[in-house]
Structure 1
Amino acid sequence: MKKMVLGTALATCISGSAFAYDGGDFIFRSGAITVSPEVSSSALSLGDATLEGTAAGVDDGTALSLIGTYMLRDHWGVEVIAATPFSHDLKVSGLGETFDLGETRHLPPTVVLQYYPLQASSRVQPYVGLGLNYTVFFEEKVSGEANDIFASLGATGDASVSLKNSSGIAAEAGVDVAFGADQRWLLNLSVWWMDIDTEATVKVPGVGTVSATVELDPLVYSAGVGYRF
């Protein structure tokens, strides 16, 4: 009798019914997510003049990830990536020094088609994905330091900055490690590359409009936990 019970338990574990990634399953993941831009900027322009040797920069930003995956069928899922708003410091270099231009917030809603290569019963589930990203910039602000510099150049009021929204492709790789009594809880590590390009425009009253084309193309890192429903 004991052998029969042990055999039944072993068969259940091998079948993976408790932690299978089957069609129709829903997976929710959340944790810390960091956007780390790999910035490539054109030189700043003021009207028709190009300010040679200048460039824009964007610092990293961290937020809380909110990620849901629906398994369309075994091995294939569709993921929707959301997060609380990211905040990034904006920089300008090449005008004798690097100074703080201001800050912006953004949200990067992204949809990715995922592929899970291992059998559904595997406790360790690597995956890759490819999809589309749309990045929305908002609440852009110019710093007091930047306004002081613009005032020394003849500005007649505070400047304003805006960043154009962006759309592009996104690629990802990640891994889930199941744990817990029913193997429904997950430890997750994931990384994305996102094609994000924007046009930064700074309007300086009494001076003119300063603009630059900026390729952000960040690597996005996430570490957290998940649960499979």
Structure 2
Amino acid sequence: MTKQILRAGCALTLLAAFGAAQAQVAGTWSVRVGATHIAPQTKSDDLSAPSFPGTKVDVGSASALTGGINYMLTDHWALDLPVGLPFKHSFYGDGAIDGVGKLGQTKVVPATLFAQYRFGEPNATFRPYVGLGVTYSKFFKNRSTAALTGVTGGSPANPTTARIDNKFGLTPQVGLVWNFNERMFLDVAYYKSFLKTTSHLSSGQSIDMRLNPNVFAIGVGWRF
């Protein structure tokens, strides 16, 4: 992934060399490429009956190659759309089943649209910003393991599978744009997505989860 990011950054640098200078003013578009790390802060309820009391799950972190598109509505207000590859998260036993290992995995596309306010002047070197977005998390390609089948009382002939509800959530954001010149910039951001969802098992059981991930994003961009 690191090599891909460096190559993309070099390509943007070459593009910037042939473009006219632009500041962050109304009507300006920009694109960026980089990486994002999602770290869920999982708090799960107990697995519904029949199950051992305190049967919970934890969700692992994931990183992916990402980027984004930004449009300046005014010199200070912007719309920002992060884009990227899906994130792959693993589920693990927690609580009464802590130590059973990996229960399954899922892929997720967290589609978010941010409204941002950027501080400072359009031609400032550093422009901190705050944002608020709405995220729609789409879960797909769910996979389960023999450990999940064992926890739920299934059998190899009838393994337990899982389905996760797609959900909306609010996502506040803080970030900083560091302008190398009037074309090239570095964008770093932290945001917190407030997300609660439910996993439904083929055994008839279900479990509610508050994921509320911390998200860290970095990207090199080009303004035009």
TM-score, scaled to structure 2: 0.84
Paired amino acid for 1:106: V
- Matched residue, 1:97: 99
| Mapping of residues 58-69 of structure 1, within 5 Å | 58-69=59-70
- Matched residue, 2:80: 79
Shift in Å at residue 30 of structure 1? Answer: 1.7
- Matched residue, 2:195: 196
> 1:126 and 1:184 mapped to 2: Cα distance?
17
* Structure 1 residues not aligned, in runs of 5+: 1-16
Q: Which has the larger radius of gyration?
A: 1
* Distance change (3 Å), C-alpha of 1:43 and 1:120: same
Aligned length: 203
| Mapping of residues 140-219 of structure 1, within 5 Å | 140-147=142-149, 149=150, 153-155=153-155, 156-180=157-181, 183-203=182-202, 208-219=203-214
Let me know the Cα RMSD of the aligned residues. Answer: 1.8
Shift in Å at residue 161 of structure 1? Answer: 0.8
Of 31, 34, 41, the match for 2:37: 34
Paired amino acid for 2:213: P
Deviates more, 1:59-68 or 1:92-101: 92-101
> 1:185 and 1:138 mapped to 2: Cα distance?
35
Query: Does the CA contact (< 8 Å) of 2:34 and 2:217 recur in 1?
Result: yes
* Structure 2 residues not aligned, in runs of 5+: 1-19
> 1:62 and 1:198 mapped to 2: Cα distance?
20
Deviations 1:105-135 (A, max 9, x none): 0001101100001111101111110121100
- Matched residue, 1:139: 141
> 1:162 and 1:96 mapped to 2: Cα distance?
21
- Matched residue, 2:52: 51
TM-score, scaled to structure 1: 0.83
Shift in Å at residue 198 of structure 1? Answer: 0.9
* Distance change (3 Å), C-alpha of 1:96 and 1:74: closer
Of 103, 110, 128, the match for 1:126: 128
* Distance change (3 Å), C-alpha of 1:96 and 1:190: closer
Shift in Å at residue 84 of structure 1? Answer: 0.5
